[in-house]
């Protein structure tokens, strides 16, 4: 049965589904020791190490931008001004732009790291950061380029802008955030149009997971052991995209329930592939392909599940035990005493047999993913504290 058919059935019976948070009598027992103060100290440790060891700012490509997305979430929950200042300096040094070509006739959207690839989603990730900084302190210069680029893109007839799974995280939230600011419904209409292309290209109904791109679709591509090849970080990007979209998507949007349906379906599939130690392996269904822990995918999954719990979208009784194990992995195995975050797979697009990652393997996007998860953990701890005071 296709996702379209399943979604139609789901829509009919959605009024009977139980999607709220557990009642007081059903509260799970995990993570009782987690406090706002404890999580804040972890955020300060991880982010302090990163910013101290990276005083110079990088360009506005996807991986520095992914860090700054997490950094600003850390700012929102801690109020530490140094975090906002760090992202503000990065944005100013990059002139509030992604790829910097000013000639639309040269703009491209397939893979490219040069300034002509303005329409490539990896160069649009930075717009999320600029928009967040605008929402904190409005100034039109911060979002001028984002609006210019996205409105040009929406005026084109193409809908195949998001041809790789990562692109959903990189660009989907840009469109809902710009809708929130402008009220222009075209952002939401084009969002769904582009998402349909990505869904039909990469989403596997049976597994409720996304292939990284068309090269990896089964059975054309198989792992060395003949299995479907679902990359953990690739699915982490997708899973983490939905919360950032749903936060700004109107409750009345006709496609909201479909986004929620796929998000919940992915959550169930992700739950089933978690390892006893709390992490996810790089190949989610072929544990022998690239065994061992991986932090970036694990952090994105933790973020998505915590957001779902915090917002009544995922059942707390079901998903909190999963989060408890993954959080314990993140803070006790991946995190070093000095604040360095390890076991992050380097930049790539798949699980690579024989590729070695260890406690020294770190990256900006991995830290960003961790900070997203930590910010949601802090929000969870605050909600539990408020509930216990009543």
Which residues is 209 bridged to in the sheet? Answer: 204
Residue 19 covered by a domain = no
Residue 187 covered by a domain = yes
Residue 357 covered by a domain = yes
- Tell me, yes or no, if 166 is annotated catalytic: yes
- Point out the catalytic residue in the list 122, 132, 166, 364: 166
Could you list the beta-strand ranges (E) of the chain. Answer: 203-204, 209-210
Question: What crossing angle do the helices spanning 81-93 and 62-78 adopt, rounded to 10°?
Answer: 150
Which residues is 164 bridged to in the sheet? Answer: 213
| pTM score | 0.92
The per-residue pLDDT of the chain, averaged, comes to: 92
Res 384: pLDDT: 78
CA distances from residue 195 to 29, 164, 213 in whole angstroms, order as listed: 38, 11, 14
Please, what is the Cα angle at 58 between 56 and 60, to 5 degrees?
Answer: 145
SS3 63: helix
Res 386: pLDDT: 54
Res 32: pLDDT: 61
Residue 53 covered by a domain = yes
Res 34: pLDDT: 85
> What's phi and psi for 355, nearest 5 deg?
-70, 125
Residue 20 covered by a domain = no
Res 298: pLDDT: 98
CA distance 351 to 354: 9
Point out the residues of the chain with pLDDT beneath 70: 1-33, 385-390
Res 27: pLDDT: 43
> What domain count does the chain have?
1
What DSSP element (H or E) covers 203?
A: strand 203-204
CATH number, position 375:
1.50.10.10
Q: Residue 86's closest CA among 60, 64, 68?
A: 68
Sign of CA dihedral 302, 306, 309, 313: negative
Q: Which domain holds residue 205?
A: 3-14+27-389
Which residues is 204 bridged to in the sheet? Answer: 209
């Amino acid at each position: 049965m296709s996702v379209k058919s399943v979604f139609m059935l789901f829509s009919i019976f959605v009024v009977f589904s139980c999607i709220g948070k557990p009642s007081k009598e059903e509260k799970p027992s995990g993570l009782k020791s987690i406090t706002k103060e404890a999580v804040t100290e972890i955020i300060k440790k991880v982010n302090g190490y990163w910013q101290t060891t990276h005083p110079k700012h990088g360009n506005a490509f996807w991986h520095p931008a992914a860090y700054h997305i997490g950094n600003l979430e850390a700012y929102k929950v801690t109020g530490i001004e140094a975090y906002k200042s760090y992202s503000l300096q990065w944005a100013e040094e990059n002139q509030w732009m992604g790829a910097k070509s000013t000639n639309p006739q040269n703009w491209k959207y397939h893979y490219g790291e040069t300034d002509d690839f303005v329409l490539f989603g990896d160069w649009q990730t930075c717009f999320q950061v600029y928009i967040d900084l605008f929402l904190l302190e409005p100034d039109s210069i911060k979002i001028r380029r984002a609006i210019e680029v996205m409105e040009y893109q929406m005026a084109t007839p193409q809908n195949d802008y998001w041809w790789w799974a990562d692109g959903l995280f990189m660009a989907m939230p840009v469109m809902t955030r710009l809708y929130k600011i402008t009220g222009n419904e075209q952002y939401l209409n084009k969002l769904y149009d582009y998402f349909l292309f990505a869904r039909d290209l990469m989403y596997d109904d049976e597994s409720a997971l996304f292939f990284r791109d068309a090269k990896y679709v089964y059975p054309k591509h198989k792992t060395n052991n003949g299995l479907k090849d679902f990359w953990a970080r690739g699915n982490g990007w997708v899973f983490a995209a939905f919360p950032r979209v749903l936060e700004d998507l109107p409750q009345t949007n006709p496609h909201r329930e479909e986004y929620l349906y796929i998000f919940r379906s992915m959550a169930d599939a992700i739950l089933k592939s978690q390892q006893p130690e709390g992490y996810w392996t790089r190949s989610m269904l072929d544990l022998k392909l690239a065994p061992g822990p991986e932090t970036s995918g694990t952090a994105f999954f933790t973020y998505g599940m915590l957001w779902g719990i915090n917002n009544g979208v995922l059942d707390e009784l079901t998903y909190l035990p999963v989060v408890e194990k993954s959080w314990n992995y993140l803070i006790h195995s991946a995190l070093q005493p000095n604040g360095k975050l390890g076991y992050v797979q380097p930049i790539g697009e798949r699980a690579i047999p024989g590729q070695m990652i260890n406690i020294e393997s770190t990256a900006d996007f991995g830290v960003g993913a961790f900070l997203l998860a930590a910010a949601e953990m802090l929000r969870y701890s605050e909600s539990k504290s408020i509930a216990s005071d009543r």
